[in-house]
């Protein structure tokens, strides 16, 4: 393990790692694609002093948690593996979730992460200790201190359960799409709430097994043709770099009023026309907002599934549950045995933000009271030696999440090298965070995410800011932030920002 800082300035501030808890150099929270990818790259860089904390009993994040029937990648699999560890053998154009989960497990195993993994270990609090220049963590398995804290907890990991009056009295099984009941028998009457990426994937599969399905749709999604198929034995897979470039060009279609946006809309409308001959049903399935404003979905079996005799599309939200009856806003009532909530996740207000307290005891949730902000989508003023993966403006609405994750991993590795060289805790300046936030806001202003006339999980409802997505091409993000730049961490910037609290918290 590389040592922590050794400069005189640093030595004056601390007397070595705290002795009353186990100390690690880097604590990574979350063993999904981001955490496992970072773990692998840390080891490859010769950094072995890290712990990978995971509250569940397995690695895999999204792909461990989402086991609903039909779960699969919704970007081409060829783009869905770490560039440093490509998976050339995906079975399908869009790999099934279980296959991706197995890939993540395989990477964790073969990259030697076992000694670092602490499964069943939930972070319950993290506080920056100014005096010790270290993070003090509390976990469900005891305390820990770390020079550097990296959160890799995912942006789609906390199910959002809607408040529907009477839901608690429903006599049958009720569960969220990310908490699938694996023992669900076939032949039941199922109600599904939600028509996002999860609902659209699971309904066609569910329809094969259920006696009946009613889908409660509050807002129709735009759906594009998918073209999924199994690869033939020995078939050559698409060239990753070429595919990545092609995918990145789709960002242009997210610029409101662009020709690319219009072309994408035409494709989606043509798909709907081709698959849904009934004009009344087609009207119910036609969104009234710009394509891409909410995530554009890919499916060839969603529209056909809705037209099966035992499947009903209810074009309104549930407003009450009365015993085993679902009451829709339209007044329609449906008797069901099971209720599936494909209602999405807590994204704009991530629960982990309440657990992380930086300088002066200020939490990330407090810092983000008007919506998440950062510099480079990864570092936050007032939170020294903290890196946030998959956090503010780190998602992509048009491309593989791994594009940004891998760039962020590169940034973290560079930050650690810098930290070793200087020994001075890394805190981004308030000015840099403000400038980045301004840039994000300016760039977001012209996109369908803000101008498309929809409500989505990409946008913070408090401020109306786009806080979940990077409003640009993935390649640009990678070029600008895939390598660590120490300039925005200038100490004088930090002082000028005048943040409170140099006092230790205990
Ligand atoms: P989502 O996109 O947030 O969709 C949630 C759905 O539930 C929406 O249709 C929403 O309606 C509806 N809803 C929420 N509360 C409701 C309520 N009280 N009454 C009625 N309807 C309600 O969630 P998701 O489908 O789980 O997808 C989330 C993200 O996960 C996706 O955007 C994607 O990035 C990712 N994902 C990826 C894959 C994949 O790669 N294969 C699969 C699944 C998910 P409104 O639109 O009206 O809010």
How confident is the model over 183-192, as pLDDT tens digits?
A: 999 999 999 9
d(CA 466, CA 450): 7
d(CA 430, CA 182): 47
| Residue 399 sits in the same domain as residue 435 | yes
User: Is the pLDDT score of 11 beyond 70?
Assistant: no
User: Is the pLDDT score of 316 beyond 50?
Assistant: yes
- Give pLDDT tens digits for 336-373: 999 999 999 999 999 999 999 999 999 999 999 999 99
Residue of the CA atom closest to atom 4 of ligand 1? 196
Residue of the CA atom closest to atom 29 of ligand 1? 197
Most confident of 7-11, 154-158, 489-493: 154-158
Q: Where are the alpha helices (DSSP H) in 32-138?
A: 33-44, 62-65, 97-110
User: Is the pLDDT score of 15 beyond 80?
Assistant: no
| Residue 383 sits in the same domain as residue 417 | yes
| Residue 365 sits in the same domain as residue 467 | yes
User: Is the pLDDT score of 501 beyond 60?
Assistant: no
* Residue 197 CA, ligand 1 centroid: distance in Å: 6
User: Is the pLDDT score of 17 beyond 80?
Assistant: no
| Residue 372 sits in the same domain as residue 297 | no
User: Is the pLDDT score of 137 beyond 90?
Assistant: yes
* Residue 195 CA, ligand 1 centroid: distance in Å: 6
* Residue 177 CA, ligand 1 centroid: distance in Å: 10
- Give pLDDT tens digits for 93-118: 999 999 999 999 999 999 999 999 99
CB 241, CB 248: distance < 8 Å: no
CB 22, CB 144: distance < 8 Å: yes
Q: Where are the alpha helices (DSSP H) in 125-258?
A: 197-209, 240-249
pLDDT band, very low/low/confident/very high, at 16 (cuts 50, 70, 90): low
Which of 306, 341, 376 represents a domain boundary (last residue)? 341
Nearest-atom index, ligand 1, CA of 164: 18
């860089």: which residue's tokens?
45
The answer to the question of residue 91 being in a domain is no
d(CA 321, CA 131): 54
Query: Which pLDDT belongs to residue 506?
Result: 23
| Residue 131 sits in the same domain as residue 180 | no
The answer to the question of residue 76 being in a domain is no
Which residues are CB-neighbours of 53 under 8 A, at least 6 positions away?
Answer: 27, 28, 29, 30, 31, 118, 121, 122, 123, 137, 139, 144
User: Is the pLDDT score of 6 beyond 60?
Assistant: no
Ligand 1 neighbours, Cβ below 6 Å, are: 72-74, 156, 162, 177, 193-199, 201, 216, 218-219, 295, 317-318, 342-345, 455, 457
Which is nearest to 213 in space by CA: 339, 33, 301? 339
pLDDT band, very low/low/confident/very high, at 491 (cuts 50, 70, 90): low
Average pLDDT over residues 488-498: 58
Nearest-atom index, ligand 1, CA of 343: 7
- Give pLDDT tens digits for 29-62: 999 999 999 999 999 999 999 999 999 999 999 9
Lowest mean pLDDT among 20-24, 283-287, 408-412, 496-500: 496-500
The answer to the question of residue 138 being in a domain is yes
Q: How many domains does the chain have?
A: 2
Which of 341, 374, 398 represents a domain boundary (last residue)? 341
Query: Which pLDDT belongs to residue 20?
Result: 80
Average pLDDT over residues 55-77: 97
The answer to the question of residue 505 being in a domain is no
| Cα dihedral 483, 54, 50, 107 sign | negative
Residue of the CA atom closest to atom 31 of ligand 1? 197
d(CA 44, CA 409): 12
Q: Domain containing 204: what range?
A: 167-341
CB 402, CB 79: distance < 8 Å: yes
Q: What is the CATH number of the domain that holds 375?
A: 3.50.50.60
Which of 341, 363, 398 represents a domain boundary (last residue)? 341
Residue to probe by mutation, ligand 1, list 343, 453, 455, most atoms within 8 Å of CB = 343
- Give pLDDT tens digits for 207-248: 999 999 999 999 999 999 999 999 999 999 889 999 999 999
Query: Which pLDDT belongs to residue 72?
Result: 97
User: Is the pLDDT score of 496 beyond 60?
Assistant: no
Lowest mean pLDDT among 10-24, 30-44, 251-265, 406-420: 10-24
| Residue 328 sits in the same domain as residue 277 | yes
Average pLDDT, the chain: 93
Query: Which pLDDT belongs to residue 169?
Result: 94
| Residue 292 sits in the same domain as residue 367 | no
Write the burial class of residue 161 (CB in 10 Å: 0-12 exposed, 13-18 middle, 19+ buried).
middle
d(CA 88, CA 81): 9
Query: Which pLDDT belongs to residue 144?
Result: 97
Percent of all residues in the chain with a pLDDT value above 90, rounded to a whole number: 91
Percent of all residues in the chain with a pLDDT value above 70, rounded to a whole number: 93
């Amino acid at each position: 393990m590389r040592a922590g800082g050794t400069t005189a300035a640093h030595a004056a501030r601390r007397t070595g790692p705290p002795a009353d808890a186990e100390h690690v150099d880097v604590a990574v929270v979350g063993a999904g694609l981001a955490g496992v990818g970072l773990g692998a790259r840390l080891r490859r860089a010769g950094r072995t002093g890290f712990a990978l904390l995971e509250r569940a009993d397995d690695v895999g994040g999204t792909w461990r948690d989402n086991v609903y029937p039909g779960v699969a990648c919704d970007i081409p699999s060829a783009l869905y593996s770490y560039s440093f560890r490509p998976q050339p053998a995906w079975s399908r154009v869009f790999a099934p979730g279980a296959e991706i989960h197995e890939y993540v497990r395989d990477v964790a195993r073969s990259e030697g992460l076992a000694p670092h993994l602490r499964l069943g270990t939930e972070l319950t609090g993290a506080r920056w200790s100014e005096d010790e220049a270290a993070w003090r963590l509390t976990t469900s398995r005891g305390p820990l201190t770390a020079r550097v804290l990296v959160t890799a907890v995912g942006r789609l990991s906390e199910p959002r359960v809607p408040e529907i009056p009477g839901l608690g009295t429903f006599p049958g099984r009720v569960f969220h799409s990310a908490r699938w009941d694996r023992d669900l028998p076939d032949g039941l009457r199922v109600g599904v709430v939600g028509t996002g990426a999860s609902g659209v994937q699971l309904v066609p599969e569910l329809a094969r097994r259920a006696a009946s399905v009613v889908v409660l749709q509050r807002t129709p999604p735009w759906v594009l043709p998918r073209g999924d198929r199994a690869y033939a034995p020995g078939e050559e897979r698409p060239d990753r770099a070429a595919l990545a470039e092609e995918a990145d060009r789709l960002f242009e279609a997210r610029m409101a009023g662009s020709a690319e946006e219009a072309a994408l809309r035409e494709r989606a409308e043509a798909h709907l026309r081709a698959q849904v001959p009934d004009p009344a049903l087609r009207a119910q399935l036609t969104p009234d907002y710009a394509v891409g404003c909410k995530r554009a979905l890919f499916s060839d079996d969603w529209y056909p599934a809705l037209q099966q005799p035992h499947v009903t599309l209810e074009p309104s939200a549930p407003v009450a549950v009365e015993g085993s009856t679902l009451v829709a806003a339209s007044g329609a009532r449906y008797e069901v045995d099971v209720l599936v909530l494909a209602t999405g996740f807590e994204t704009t207000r991530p629960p982990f933000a309440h657990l992380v307290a930086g300088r002066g005891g200020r939490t990330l949730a407090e810092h983000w009271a008007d919506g998440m902000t950062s510099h480079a989508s990864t570092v936050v003023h007032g939170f020294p030696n903290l890196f946030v993966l998959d956090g503010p403006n780190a998602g992509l609405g048009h491309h593989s999440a791994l594009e940004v994750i891998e760039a962020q991993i590169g940034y973290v590795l560079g930050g650690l090298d810098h930290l070793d060289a200087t020994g001075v805790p890394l805190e981004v300046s308030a000015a840099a965070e403000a400038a980045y936030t301004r840039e994000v806001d300016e760039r977001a202003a012209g996109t369908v995410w803000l101008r498309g006339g929809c409500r989505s999980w990409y946008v913070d409802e408090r401020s109306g800011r786009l806080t979940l997505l990077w409003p640009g091409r993935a390649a640009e993000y990678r070029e600008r932030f895939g390598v660590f730049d120490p300039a925005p961490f200038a100490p004088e910037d930090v002082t000028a920002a005048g943040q409170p609290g140099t006092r230790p918290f205990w």
